[in-house]
Structure 1
Amino acid sequence: MVDRSDDGDTLIDEAAAAPVDDWDFSWLAGRASEQRPSWGYARAMGARLARAGIALDIETGNGAVLAGVPRLAATRTVATESWPPSLTRAAARLRPRGVTVIAADAGTSLPFTANTFDLVVSRHPVATCWPEISRVLAPGGTYFSQQVGPASVFELVEYFLGPQPARVRARRHPDRARAAAQAAGLDVVDLRSEWLRTEFHDVGAVVYFLRTVVWMVPGFTVEAYRPRLRDLHQHIRAHGPFTARATRYLIEARKPA
């Protein structure tokens, strides 16, 4: 763990210079921590993949989660990603295992024929296009996803932006996901959510997090927020880790046979 007596500007500048183009949160080891959901998404997703014939992983990121499963779908596994740096890394990681990696913005459309996949999975999608998921699922097929829930880590967001209106705090609510899935013709068979303790042990961890998850504090730059970051450094020195609550929900929906 980083010594919190270190100079705040040194920690800030170190995090500002760290590369963030691969969604590699290993830089935060010992500097931040997040409680994991009890359902164990990667394990549960891997179990479903092992039973699938043709599967699709939407917004695979750098491919690390999919690469970690013991067995892929029996006939074919496909992954999509839209961000070029992650797409390159996902292809390098997944193609040796026989996964087809395709550039696609899954928030608007999926470049596949209807009724193709008996399993579609996605971990932390930016947006879920329920009509497209319903379209590409084969009858009887399943969509299985862990998603970021409402007001996730908003203690940190509101530290920089001030109190957020109720409509903003209500975005990404699991009840809305249920309604959208049902409107697309899917049956929701599982839906659960959890609040998860998140701790930032030094101000550099906050800088790195906000540079990576860019939609949390839109337009965040170190120089624009340096006075506030210095205040946060002093707060952590005086009171210990900055604590927030992340929200996650698990949703499983099935296309009628």
Structure 2
Amino acid sequence: MVVLILARTVREAVSTMDFAGDEPHAEAGSRGPKTTWRNPDATLMMRGMARTFEDLVAEADSVSVEGWDFSWLDGRATEERPSWGYQRLISERLASVSAALDVQTGGGEVLAGVTRFPPTMAATESWPPNLTKATKLLHPRGVVVVANQGAPPLPFGDEAFDLVTSRHPAEVWWDEIARVLRPGGTYLAQHVGPASVFELTEHFLGPRPEARRKRHPDDERAEAEAAGLEVVDQRWERLRTEFFDIGAVVYFLRKVIWIVPGFSVDRHRDRLRELHERIERDGSFVAHSSRVLVEARKPA
């Protein structure tokens, strides 16, 4: 049975949101969502407050959203980090295997933070801007970045890897993961859990009770087991996310396109204005991201 941990409702003023890829400097073996705090410049925290709705929206609608770097949100949004420290976990595992694969690597930001790679290290990515960025970032470190079509099969032979990792995959191809793992091999990943940032989704789209079950850890466990994998660890946390100006919301929704499918400033201007007024009144908009750590093993 999955363990759900409701993270303490505190602000972690980190330099980038958790989606970005760099991990908090959590102490090894710490319990609960213990992180190192990094306070953003106070002027950044205030920069949205003296600007108009139109200015904030126009700025956020014009900047590039390529790659998986969220540093544009410095001082404008925060997100608590999961307690397990995913980047640290995969760093430890990658140092102990001979061949590994990172699936849906994005711009390679998370993998680039790993200290030591195994002799054989590959990564896949399908979105061209991310593929270019990941190639530039990872090739100098000996990682082979392979383009795929965003759908099965994975472009590798059977039983090719000791370890498969993935951070926030859009879709989990359990059968393919089981196929490319060697007997005794492990899948270690951090997934986006159910109803992640759903306060924002439902502000724009209205109540969506039918969608709240999607990506539920119990369902993912059943899918993994159906593919022949044994789930040996599964942890679920809900984490406080806070937006301090409407520009941060626009940028986030342009970048993380599945939160509000079909989002555009023109289409959703009225709801954006309502949210802007709410942020002006309350000081921020609070939502909760959902993260699941999953470790599944292929029987030897």
Q: Paired residue for 2:138, among 87, 91, 94?
A: 94
Q: What are the equivalent positions in structure 2 for 1:168-179 lying under 5 Å apart?
A: 168-179=211-222
Q: Paired residue for 1:125, among 144, 169, 172?
A: 169
CA distance in 1, matches of 2:242, 2:202: 15
Question: Does the CA contact (< 8 Å) of 1:104 and 1:111 recur in 2?
Answer: yes
Once the two structures are TM-superposed, the CA of residue 84 in structure 1 deviates from its matched residue by: 0.5
Q: Paired residue for 1:197, among 240, 243, 249?
A: 240
Q: What are the equivalent positions in structure 2 for 1:1-257 lying under 5 Å apart?
A: 1=45, 2-73=47-118, 75-105=119-149, 107-165=151-209, 167-257=210-300
CA distance in 1, matches of 2:213, 2:151: 20
Residues 93-133 of structure 1: CA deviation (Å, up to 9, x unaligned): 10111111100145421011111100000000000000000
The DSSP-based 3-state class of the residue aligned with 1:222 is: coil
User: What RMSD, in angstroms, separates the aligned Cα atoms of the two structures?
Assistant: 0.9
Question: Does the CA contact (< 8 Å) of 1:106 and 1:128 recur in 2?
Answer: no
> Which is helix-richer, 1 or 2?
1
Kindly provide the amino acid, as one letter, of the partner of residue 69 in structure 2.
D
Once the two structures are TM-superposed, the CA of residue 213 in structure 1 deviates from its matched residue by: 0.8
* TM-score normalised by the chain length of structure 2: 0.83
CA distance in 2, matches of 1:207, 1:34: 16
Equivalent residue pairs, number? 255
Question: Does the CA contact (< 8 Å) of 2:235 and 2:293 recur in 1?
Answer: yes
CA distance in 2, matches of 1:68, 1:22: 16
CA distance in 2, matches of 1:106, 1:209: 22
Once the two structures are TM-superposed, the CA of residue 145 in structure 1 deviates from its matched residue by: 0.3
Question: Does the CA contact (< 8 Å) of 1:80 and 1:106 recur in 2?
Answer: no
Kindly provide the amino acid, as one letter, of the partner of residue 81 in structure 1.
E
Question: Does the CA contact (< 8 Å) of 2:167 and 2:189 recur in 1?
Answer: yes
**Per the alignment, do residues 111 and 89 of structure 1 end up closer, same or farther by CA in structure 2, a change over 3 Å counting?**
same
Kindly provide the amino acid, as one letter, of the partner of residue 220 in structure 1.
F
Kindly provide the amino acid, as one letter, of the partner of residue 215 in structure 2.
R
Once the two structures are TM-superposed, the CA of residue 5 in structure 1 deviates from its matched residue by: 3.5
Once the two structures are TM-superposed, the CA of residue 21 in structure 1 deviates from its matched residue by: 1.5
Question: Does the CA contact (< 8 Å) of 2:68 and 2:109 recur in 1?
Answer: no
Question: Does the CA contact (< 8 Å) of 2:164 and 2:187 recur in 1?
Answer: yes
Point out where structure 2 has 5 or more consecutive residues left out of the alignment.
1-44
Residues 63-89 of structure 1: CA deviation (Å, up to 9, x unaligned): 11111111001x210000000010011
Point out where structure 1 has 5 or more consecutive residues left out of the alignment.
none
Question: Does the CA contact (< 8 Å) of 2:48 and 2:244 recur in 1?
Answer: no
Kindly provide the amino acid, as one letter, of the partner of residue 214 in structure 2.
R
Question: Does the CA contact (< 8 Å) of 1:5 and 1:237 recur in 2?
Answer: no
The DSSP-based 3-state class of the residue aligned with 2:276 is: helix
* TM-score normalised by the chain length of structure 1: 0.97
